[in-house]
Structure 1
Amino acid sequence: MHRRIIAPGALAAASLLLAIPASAASCSPGAPGIGDPYYPAYGNGGYDVSHYDLGLRYQPATDELAGTATILARTTQDLSRFDLDFLLDVSEVRVNGARATFTTSGEHELEVTPKTPLAKNTPITVVVRYSGVPSTKSAYGFTTWHRTPDGAVAADEPESAWWWFPSNDHPSDKATYDVSVTVPDGTQAVSNGTLQSTSSQLGRTRYSWRQNKPQATYLATLAIGKLDLTTSTSDGGVPVLNAYSRNLGDNDGAARASVERTGEIVDWLSGYFGPYPFASAGGYVPDTTTGYALETQTRVYYSPRQFANGANTSVVVHELAHQWYGDDVSLKGRKDIWLNEGFARYAQWLWSEHEGEGTTRQLAQYVYAAHPADDAFWTVAPGDPGPADQFDLAVYDRGALAIQALRDEVGDDAFFAILKGWPKEHAYGNASVADFRGYAEQVSGKSLSALFDTWLFQPSKPAAPAARTASIASGAGAGAVPARPRSWQKIAATNDVHTG
């Protein structure tokens, strides 16, 4: 260990500097939105969060949630006031140990005014005490807190944090997490990361979870109910923890037959995307009526309906691919959604090829031919689809077509180097479609501007790729739709994976 010697005078001067608050005249309120044009009121300006510590107490019978959130952050401007995104009832807020005043505004803004102004680039500790019944709260006419017969689930995109913890709710402000949840004995509480400990006292059990890598707020999840937990370790050494409601009925076997392959699929994906980026993996299937799945970091949320027609490893592949593309490397802005969904869909195509149920090229040819030129499918631009079309089928399928076009353009060696290098290049950070194009050009040595524009931004059907033209020449016939790959039914079953 190297110890730096600091002169006493310098230490005193540094302490004095830290003690000087920002001048009230130089301060201004932090913006009530982080600046994303798709969601102008989401996130907040003026600070950057590094850690959330959540101490929660939940009563399943009444849906009552009480919590204390301790938020560690650093100011990015001189602040007179700042906002948090939150819906529950707040009883106290402290900033750097001193009581702060607070009020609410808009659909989900908690406005906090510290006792003294906050200088730019200084660490702050914010403590919020709160309680409420999340299922009674709504914003913009909806809720993302889902009650179950024996508990509740928080898992949704692009927002879910407001119903259970105060936050800077935008993917561009990632943080680490400690989540401690107390529930009645016999009930389990599952969250992201690794289970640090469980303890019981006076009829209640506390579950303590830790996510030690940066995580976007919408990827934070909470599931409370009567759950069966399973644990294992993948061949590659990744610890896996899965959880299943005890009331899945006919979907139970199919859910377990799919989700219990998590370790195998994580190892397989690592061959394409590089080492798994987190300390644990897994998923959970609660007793909900929703239809979607979500890539909640390290602990994927799956609706039971994803397995209503039998086992489906394709949806598991999709959500686990997001652990690299979406969770490890997260969006700079919501317009960059192709970096999440296009690559998760392409991972399903790779899995199809791995399983011998249709190659990526066959799937690309089928999707391309299945949508005629006048299909509205081609009017959605995956590279900037607009807020109403973020989860449109085109973002997934046209997005995957763009990836196959990239592969055809740069060749397999460069393509797979890009797939594996991208998560390493931006590990635990944020990136945009423009960043990805620049990286792909750097690795391949090719100019890709025209290809990206054609496949991601033009509102029309691109000319047939060379591979499709070759298949027509070999006898498929102009305008003919190639035979449907065997994997297509399972892939298509996940079309509503984030919207059902």
Structure 2
Amino acid sequence: MHRRIIAPGALAAASLMLAIPASAASHSPGAPGIGDPYYPAYGNGGYDVSHYDLRLKYQPATDELSGTATILAKMTQDLSSFDLDFLLDVSEVRVNGAKASFTTSGQHELVVTPKKPLDKGTSITVVVRYSGVPSTKSAYGFSTWHRTPDGAVAADEPEAAWWWYPSNDHPLDKATYDVSVAVPNGTQAISNGTLQSTRSQLGSTRYNWRQNKPQATYLTTLAVGKFDITTSTSEGGVPVVNAYSKDLGDNDGAARASIERTGELVDWLSGYFGPYPFNSAGGYVPNTTTGYALETQTRVYYSPKQFANGANSSLVVHELAHQWYGDSVSLKGWKNIWLNEGFASYAQWLWSEHEGEGTTQELADYVYASHPADDPFWTVKPGDPGPDHQFDDAVYDRGALAIQALRNAVGDDAFFAILKGWPQEHAYGNASIADFQAYAEKVSGKSLGALFDVWLFQPVKPASGALAKSAGEAFAKSAGVQPRSWKKIVAAHGAH
């Protein structure tokens, strides 16, 4: 008979294991990324956020930002710890009221370990207290926090939140928002949605903004500075809030001549895409040195440089079209970027036709003829361009070509039914190109696999017949003529 010898430490460990509930033993750390192959470290695994409450204070003179983020979320798996995407300095984290330990990892990960493991299906409240100077922070060699002479702006794609609030930073995890920001008197704070209230005391004013519809993190914006703010209501009843930096100089008039048409353009786009999906619209132009625009939800970000050559209503159409295609219906993954940029570009083509500056077919023929078969333009696949080519011209132009090809294939009745029905089918949710193809096939009654493949996924120039309105037709006689709208349309290519 051989006696089994068990060391005291092993006995203690065995006793501890017996004391731990089976459910707790199954808990594991949440993934530091949500699973997007384009950006493996973006977003996080194991939970879904429903609401962000951000209570902030900002000093424009020093770029000091401090605040408290309260995050409401639900566990999608058993977690022993979880990550938030964030760069500023954290002083305290609480989970369900109890202090949690935390550390940093990688380029932009805040790793939180609560006192008690978190069970799948349970709701949690996370409170993060933090402060810092956003302009001193960078990740992967860049920053998306833009200083201005009188403040700062957070607006960029595919990431911007890390510099001013902790989040699950991926379009798959959309949430509602309350953003409350205190700034010195005489300075304004602008964000998404509607301004609920303002309150001034002790030399500062607090602005309270609310976004009551689901919003992706990269579509959240914050702008602090001295603005001239205009308010109106569109004919269709949509409240519009626009803001212009008081030091735009020579670009001020062209910016206003473009953005003050927001209400008109929202109503016009509603005729193609269905009812406007949010409770406010608008845009703002801070005095930044950037050269792009971004479809930040309900409050579009524009750069002053975009109006250096005069007004551009086509650019405004592009960004407003995103409110349906990209903001209300968001991407399941960044490879589906065509669903955003292709349709926003096609909205510009529709506006060109409306303005008598070139029909959608004339624009399609021109783009097709402008790029010979050996042009690298055709090697970019709009349906899966890769992270390095996510915002190439081909995603915009070849992407819009694909939409014209779809229109020609299914006919106008089915096409416009698809264009309007899609934003309602997936309102406030997420979708993929495969989802869109299935929807287009359902509405049109046609098999569209070959069309989607040749226009979105093949790295070659499609045969001219693929763009034809009818069998045997190649492209229009005017294919070599540049439509009058083209320069305004192409100005949106650098929008991101």
Shorter-chain TM range is: over 0.9
User: 1:102-181 alignment to 2 at 5 Å?
Assistant: 102-181=102-181
Higher deviation after alignment, 489-498 or 404-413: 489-498
Q: CA deviation at 1:489?
A: 1.3
Q: Is the contact made by 1:198 and 1:208 (CA closer than 8 Å) also made in structure 2?
A: yes
Q: Give the one of 443, 460, 482 matched to 1:484.
A: 482
CA distance in 2, matches of 1:208, 1:73: 22
Match of 2:381 in 1: 381
Match of 1:466 in 2: 468
CA distance in 1, matches of 2:181, 2:383: 39
Q: CA deviation at 1:481?
A: 4.5
CA distance in 2, matches of 1:70, 1:467: 54
Match of 2:356 in 1: 356
Q: CA deviation at 1:23?
A: 3.3
Q: Is the contact made by 1:187 and 1:224 (CA closer than 8 Å) also made in structure 2?
A: yes
1:248 aligns with 2:254: no
CA distance in 2, matches of 1:392, 1:112: 37
CA distance in 2, matches of 1:64, 1:473: 57
User: 1:168-247 alignment to 2 at 5 Å?
Assistant: 168-247=168-247
Match of 1:422 in 2: 422
Q: Which amino acid aligns with 2:490?
A: A
CA distance in 1, matches of 2:454, 2:203: 61
CA distance in 2, matches of 1:162, 1:374: 41
Encode CA deviations 1:38-59: one digit per residue, 9 max, x unaligned. 0000000000000000000000
Q: CA deviation at 1:493?
A: 1.8
Match of 1:496 in 2: 494
CA distance in 2, matches of 1:420, 1:136: 44
Match of 2:400 in 1: 400
Q: Which amino acid aligns with 2:468?
A: A
Match of 2:12 in 1: none
CA distance in 2, matches of 1:355, 1:93: 54
Supply the RMSD in Å over aligned alpha carbons.
1.4
Per the alignment, do residues 239 and 460 of structure 1 end up closer, same or farther by CA in structure 2, a change over 3 Å counting? same
Q: Is the contact made by 2:409 and 2:469 (CA closer than 8 Å) also made in structure 1?
A: no
Per the alignment, do residues 402 and 22 of structure 1 end up closer, same or farther by CA in structure 2, a change over 3 Å counting? farther
Per the alignment, do residues 193 and 21 of structure 1 end up closer, same or farther by CA in structure 2, a change over 3 Å counting? farther
Q: CA deviation at 1:94?
A: 0.2
Q: CA deviation at 1:24?
A: 2.7
CA distance in 2, matches of 1:79, 1:488: 52
Encode CA deviations 1:318-362: one digit per residue, 9 max, x unaligned. 000000000000000000000000000000000000011000000
CA distance in 1, matches of 2:314, 2:150: 29
Q: CA deviation at 1:28?
A: 0.3
- TM-score, length-scaled by structure 2: 0.94
Q: Is the contact made by 2:178 and 2:210 (CA closer than 8 Å) also made in structure 1?
A: yes
Q: Is the contact made by 1:228 and 1:244 (CA closer than 8 Å) also made in structure 2?
A: yes
Q: Is the contact made by 2:362 and 2:479 (CA closer than 8 Å) also made in structure 1?
A: no
Encode CA deviations 1:188-247: one digit per residue, 9 max, x unaligned. 000000000011000000000000000000000000000110000000000000000000
Q: Which amino acid aligns with 2:329?
A: V
Match of 1:4 in 2: none
CA distance in 2, matches of 1:392, 1:468: 30
Q: CA deviation at 1:120?
A: 0.5
Q: CA deviation at 1:22?
A: 7.9
Q: Which amino acid aligns with 2:219?
A: L
SS at match of 2:493: coil
Match of 2:93 in 1: 93
CA distance in 1, matches of 2:239, 2:474: 47
SS at match of 2:489: helix
Match of 1:456 in 2: 456
Match of 1:297 in 2: 297
Encode CA deviations 1:426-446: one digit per residue, 9 max, x unaligned. 000000000000000000000
Per the alignment, do residues 473 and 300 of structure 1 end up closer, same or farther by CA in structure 2, a change over 3 Å counting? closer
Q: Which amino acid aligns with 1:139?
A: A
Q: CA deviation at 1:495?
A: 1.8
> Which consecutive residues of structure 2, in runs of 5 or more, have no partner in the other structure?
1-19
Encode CA deviations 1:277-299: one digit per residue, 9 max, x unaligned. 00000000000000000000000
CA distance in 2, matches of 1:472, 1:335: 30
Percent identical? 82
SS at match of 1:23: helix
User: 1:258-297 alignment to 2 at 5 Å?
Assistant: 258-297=258-297
Q: Is the contact made by 2:46 and 2:76 (CA closer than 8 Å) also made in structure 1?
A: yes
Q: CA deviation at 1:482?
A: 2.1
CA distance in 2, matches of 1:177, 1:343: 27
Match of 2:70 in 1: 70
CA distance in 2, matches of 1:115, 1:227: 45
CA distance in 1, matches of 2:22, 2:246: 55
Q: CA deviation at 1:21?
A: 8.6
CA distance in 2, matches of 1:200, 1:142: 35
Encode CA deviations 1:259-287: one digit per residue, 9 max, x unaligned. 00000000000000000000000000000
SS at match of 2:32: coil
- TM-score, length-scaled by structure 1: 0.94
CA distance in 1, matches of 2:26, 2:81: 12
Aligned length: 475
CA distance in 2, matches of 1:158, 1:380: 19
User: 1:6-85 alignment to 2 at 5 Å?
Assistant: 23-85=23-85
SS at match of 1:165: coil
Q: Which amino acid aligns with 1:194?
A: T
Per the alignment, do residues 234 and 443 of structure 1 end up closer, same or farther by CA in structure 2, a change over 3 Å counting? same
> Which consecutive residues of structure 1, in runs of 5 or more, have no partner in the other structure?
1-19
Q: Is the contact made by 2:52 and 2:72 (CA closer than 8 Å) also made in structure 1?
A: yes
Q: CA deviation at 1:492?
A: 1.6
Q: Is the contact made by 1:291 and 1:496 (CA closer than 8 Å) also made in structure 2?
A: yes
CA distance in 2, matches of 1:239, 1:86: 33
CA distance in 1, matches of 2:22, 2:195: 40
Match of 2:9 in 1: none
CA distance in 2, matches of 1:22, 1:185: 56
CA distance in 2, matches of 1:404, 1:232: 34
Q: Which amino acid aligns with 2:402?
A: A
Q: CA deviation at 1:454?
A: 0.4
Q: Which amino acid aligns with 1:163?
A: W
Q: Is the contact made by 1:23 and 1:117 (CA closer than 8 Å) also made in structure 2?
A: no
SS at match of 1:314: helix
Q: Is the contact made by 1:287 and 1:304 (CA closer than 8 Å) also made in structure 2?
A: yes
